[in-house]
Amino acid sequence: MLRSRQRYFILSLITIVLAFSTGDRATLSIAGSGMSKELGLDSVQMGWLFSSFAWAYVLAHVPAGWLVDRLGVKRTVFFGLVLWSLCTMFMGAAAWFVAVFAVLLVLRFLLGTFEAPVGPASGRVIAAWFPSTERGMAGAIFNSAQYVSLALFTPLMGWLDHMFGWEHVFSVMGGLGLLLALFWWRFYAAPAEHPHVTQEELEYIREGGGLTDLGSRVPDNHSTNESSGRIVDLFKSRMLCGIFLAQYCISAITWFFVSWFPTYLVHDRGMTILTAGFVASVPAICGCIGGVSTGFVTDSLFKRTGSLTLARKLPITIGLLLTTAMIACNFVTSDWAVIALMSLAFFGKGFGSLGWTVVADTAPRQMIGRTGGVFNAIGNIAGITTPVIIGYILESTGSFHWALVYVGLHGIVAVFSYWVIVGRIRRFEIADRIHPAQLASPKLS
């Protein structure tokens, strides 16, 4: 038995950071109804506000991954937290500015920029702190933060909007984020440097394939060649390309829940924003249950079969096929049936979301941060397309009927990608490049 389990505390830290990241990007979905009325914003403008975050989120991910590889997880996440929390707070003061729509676009763009390091950082945290046999659990718990965030923060933000006005949704969430930044700086460290990790736990992680020296001041065997990998090298792997495509489809489903779902409950189902805030938390709770349970399922499958490919693909397939249940909402009339179907779809989405675990399994060891950056950037292109497309569907049809069909079909495409494109799941190796100067001046023994 291990006396130290510090890796679980570190996992809880990065999970809380993702929860706040998801909560802050979802503030607009709760405050949007009151904000749009007070500031005179139409459905298309709201769609662009939702997607402006994702434009920045996508564009910033590759440089964010580079920063995480270069500066380390601790500093990159800390500064990101501080800056995106300030952007969230300023959104609550948007009514004070001239050209409100333009100001909100800029703030949402900056929010997306500063949140970008969280994904690449998580890939390094999971790869460094967990052996292969526990990465499924770690990745699933980390990924469940988005559901925990919606389950906890959506009712809170709905209550703040109802009691105090939409402005306070932004001010309270931003203030809490600044407090979290201080907590992160105080308690996070790389495995090889952490004061509370025992040598026994470090050896356990190393023997299981964990890269414990990743991000420490003492470079590991591969860190001297961290710059040898190029982004273009990742696209030489059919496996990684398939994983990237599937993540785009999974993110499209996520972005519907993060952006338009509360509006769907108000617009098509006639709920108040307060009721919608609490009701929207039910599918999120189911998503959390699915997201956490899949981690234990995939790790159990890996231990039983020894096949990483089967252990990852089977839960992904079952989960993503369940997400199509949301399409059936078009054919039921009662609110409880809609919530039941959405809960099933969100449970499936959580159960099928093993993307960050797969990144930790497959990313080239010298490019884990950058691979995570590309993975999340491509995935969150859906954050650009999905809110805007739904906005135009609403503008042209006046209902969410075809929007639900559009979102639901993404699960089928993701399953196709994993089985037809990805193939066997394994770590992609990039040959280290030797600098010409090293050839010209070889070291003497």
Tokens 């054919």, located at residue: 331
pLDDT digits (tens, 9 = 90+) for 350-367: 899 888 788 878 888 777
Q: Is 20 within the bounds of a domain?
A: yes
**Does residue 205 lie within any of the structural domains?**
no
What's residue 111's pLDDT?
92
Domain carrying residue 379: 7-189+233-427
The CA distance from 159 to 13, in Å, is 26
Separation CA 75–CA 69 (nearest Å): 11
Instruction: Tell me, yes or no, whether 226 lies in a domain.
Output: no
Residue 257 lies in a domain: yes
SS3 389: helix
Q: Is residue 208 part of a domain?
A: no
On whether residue 26 sits in a domain, the answer given is yes
d(CA 237, CA 190): 29
What CATH number is given to the structural domain containing 349?
1.20.1250.20
Q: What is the dihedral of CA 375, 378, 383, 388, to 10 degrees?
A: -170
Q: Against a cut of 0.75, is the pTM above it?
A: no
Residues contacting residue 100 through CB under 8 Å, at least 6 positions apart? 39, 94
**pLDDT confidence of residue 207:** 78
Q: Closest Cα partner for 85 from 25, 39, 32, 28? A: 25
- Specify if 444 maps to a domain: no
Number of folded domains in the chain? 1
Neighbours of 363 (CB within 10 A): 26
H-only helix segments in 306-323: 308-322
Can you give the pLDDT of all 445 residues of the chain as single tens digits? 455 688 888 888 888 998 898 888 888 878 877 777 777 777 777 778 877 887 888 888 778 878 887 888 888 999 999 999 999 998 888 778 778 888 888 899 999 899 988 888 887 888 888 887 787 788 778 877 777 777 788 788 888 888 888 888 888 999 999 999 999 998 888 887 777 777 888 888 887 776 766 655 434 444 434 444 678 888 888 999 999 999 999 989 988 887 778 778 877 776 766 677 677 778 878 888 888 888 889 888 988 888 989 999 999 999 999 999 999 988 988 888 888 998 999 899 989 988 878 887 888 877 777 788 788 888 888 877 888 888 888 888 888 889 899 999 999 999 999 999 998 988 888 765 544 444 444 433 2
| Residue 198 is assigned to a structural domain of this protein | no
